[in-house]
Amino acid sequence: MSDGRRATSTGLTLVEFLIATSIMAFVALGVAAMFPAALRTVVTGGNVTKATALAREMNEMIRLDAAQSATFDSLISNYNGMNTTTVIYDCLTGIAANRTPAQKWKCDIVATAAQQSGRGLPAGYGTVAVTCVNPDGTSNASNPCTTDIRRVTATVTWQSTSSRSVSVVTNVARPNPDPN
């Protein structure tokens, strides 16, 4: 006894539910797989930012030293070839107020407990190169340096999955004598 009406069903069948669940699981796994790559990118970007800030910090310390005209003539002998791995200083027990620029830079790069605090760089160290520069920007190998411009290159190197480094280059000019 059918009166010509068809029965309508609402809801999902078991097969439809399993297909929908499988598609959602596949999409969720794809999204979850992006998180480790994103974390690596964030960590790498953070280390590059820290290294750049540390290299700029050393350049600024050298520029402050150069602001004293007596120090300007000894920039090459004081800083050229500096490497924080050869600087002997205990960052934990040393007195911060008595640190030389090299000691301060070493402590900032190493930053005790860097992995726990987020400061410092893993296996990080810094190097400095100071060269004599002609007014046209070319290197001048004369010794002693006869020009009033020095090129300072501060490089910070650290270990992540491979060795990485950032270099910051600046030119420092001899300060003008007091016009008075």
- Distance between CA atoms of residues 84 and 175, nearest Å: 27
- Global pTM reads 0.74
Tell me: the pLDDT tens digits for 118-165? 667 888 899 999 999 988 888 888 777 888 899 999 999 998 778 999
- Give the pLDDT confidence score for residue 74 in this predicted structure: 84
Average model confidence (pLDDT) across the chain: 83
3-state secondary structure of 131: strand
Supply 168's token pair: 């910051």
- Give the pLDDT confidence score for residue 78 in this predicted structure: 86
- Distance between CA atoms of residues 107 and 92, nearest Å: 9
Tally of CB atoms within 10 A around 37:
9
Residue 44 to residues 37, 41, 109, Cα–Cα distance (Å): 11, 5, 16
% of the chain beyond a pLDDT of 70: 87
- Give the pLDDT confidence score for residue 116 in this predicted structure: 52
- Give the pLDDT confidence score for residue 2 in this predicted structure: 56
- Give the pLDDT confidence score for residue 24 in this predicted structure: 94
Least confident of 55-69, 76-90, 108-122: 108-122
Cα 67 to the center of its chain, rounded Å: 26
Q: How confident is the model at residue 20 (pLDDT cuts 50, 70, 90)?
A: very high
Residue 33 to residues 24, 25, 41, 173, Cα–Cα distance (Å): 14, 12, 14, 51
- Cβ distance 116 to 62 under 8 Å? no
Q: How confident is the model at residue 180 (pLDDT cuts 50, 70, 90)?
A: low
Of 160 and 114, the one with more pLDDT: 160
Least confident of 19-23, 44-48, 174-178: 174-178
